Structure 1
Amino acid sequence: MNNDERIHLLAKELIPLYDDLAADTRLVVEEHARTCKICNEELRRFNATFAPLAAKEEVEPNAEIKPFKKLQAFKALMVGLLFLARFLLIGLLVAAFDPAAPRLLGGNIIMFYFPLAAASLSILYFFYRKLWFWVLVLFDVFILFFLDEVIYYLLL
């Protein structure tokens, strides 16, 4: 096998990778395609097929990528519903507060609020892992440890 046949085989193998080739390798393939009818035809077909696609793929490097609107709307709705559920449950617990048995509020908070807090924090951790998660962790710690005392002293 002589040198021309080797270059022909290499050029034939490299034509499908033409867009990814280094500049000097492209020159070798183009130079061979000028002298070889088969490789010239293959290179022409490759350029006719993939050149329009390459032109469409070029995107401005500083173009801002639009986020998924439905996903953002879902996440915002989810956070809103979790806040609403928390405040409704706290409102129900405070409304059911009996001054004759003030320690029942602490038990009700543990029994009803803690599972909601654990579930919503796990959901928020999965979707956010950011500021909302840590704000709600602090809020839940306050509710779990101090809400019954605050309500007891405010209402009595």
Structure 2
Amino acid sequence: MTKFDDLHILCQELIPIYSEIDEEAKQVIERHAEECEFCKKKLNTAANIEITPKEMNDDNTPVKRFKKLFLLKKVNTLLVLTLRVIVLGLITFDFFQRFSQNIPHGIQFEGLRASLVLFYIPLSFVLLMFTWFIKNKRTFWITLILDVLILYFFDNIIRLFV
């Protein structure tokens, strides 16, 4: 193969992505197109093609699928947060329903910690797995830190109201 044939093959490969390549490569293709009639036609054809995404409407707004996907992501985040708040609320409600001044506080707060272990830890584990696989890793680490803080300080927060 001659140098011209090598350049001809490379130009045929690069012409479809002509708008995305560097200026130096464009100049090489244009110089070759001056000598090669086939590449000149192909370059003119490629320059006249306007590529638009199929997912765009006439007014350049994204299709509804992306809006639905964005809304689904927000709803999932809200659902995960709501489940945590509901379980913590039920644990707190149960604690105050069973709270008595006659029983030592230490025993009652052991019951609160037991409720956290029985109900909140399994829920948070499942929700953290959901967050790990469905959401991004940043959200996972934030929710993991919040869950650890809740487990560590929840009984101290409840003590403020007793």
Please classify the TM superposition score into its range, dividing by the shorter chain length.
0.5 to 0.7
Residue 91 of structure 2 corresponds to residue 72 of structure 1: no
| Contact residue 32 and residue 39 of structure 1 kept, 8 A | yes
**Higher RCO (CA < 8 A, seq sep 6+):** 1
2:149 to 133, 138, 143: 138
2:98 to 96, 99, 105: 96
Give me the whole-angstrom Cα distance separating, in 2, the residues matched to 1:145 and 1:86.
14
> What is the aligned partner in structure 1 of residue 122 from structure 2?
119
| Contact residue 114 and residue 144 of structure 1 kept, 8 A | no
Secondary structure at the residue paired with 1:68? helix
CA RMSD of aligned residues (A): 3.6
Give me the whole-angstrom Cα distance separating, in 2, the residues matched to 1:72 and 1:94.
33
Residue 56 of structure 2 corresponds to residue 45 of structure 1: no
Secondary structure at the residue paired with 1:53? coil
> What is the aligned partner in structure 2 of residue 63 from structure 1?
none
Map 1:2-21 → 2, pairs under 5 A: 2-21=2-21
CA deviations over 1:96-148 (Å, ceiling 9, x no partner)? 23445446524432432223332344435746323x6545533432334785x
Q: Which stretch shifts more, 88-97 or 101-110?
A: 101-110
Give me the whole-angstrom Cα distance separating, in 2, the residues matched to 1:87 and 1:20.
56
| Contact residue 12 and residue 39 of structure 1 kept, 8 A | yes
> What is the aligned partner in structure 2 of residue 27 from structure 1?
27
Secondary structure at the residue paired with 2:86? helix
Q: TM-score, normalised by structure 2?
A: 0.62
CA positional deviation for 1:72: 2.0
CA positional deviation for 1:68: 2.5
Give me the whole-angstrom Cα distance separating, in 1, the residues matched to 2:110 and 2:6.
84
User: Identity percentage over the alignment?
Assistant: 19
Q: Which stretch shifts more, 120-129 or 86-95?
A: 120-129
Q: Structure 1 residues 136, 13: CA separation in 2 closer, same or farther (over 3 Å shift)?
A: closer
CA positional deviation for 1:43: 2.0
Q: Structure 1 residues 46, 120: CA separation in 2 closer, same or farther (over 3 Å shift)?
A: same
The one-letter amino acid of 1:115's match is L
CA positional deviation for 1:29: 1.0
CA positional deviation for 1:79: 1.0
Give me the whole-angstrom Cα distance separating, in 1, the residues matched to 2:92 and 2:35.
83
- Where does structure 2 lack aligned partners over 5 or more consecutive residues? 54-66
Q: TM-score, normalised by structure 1?
A: 0.63
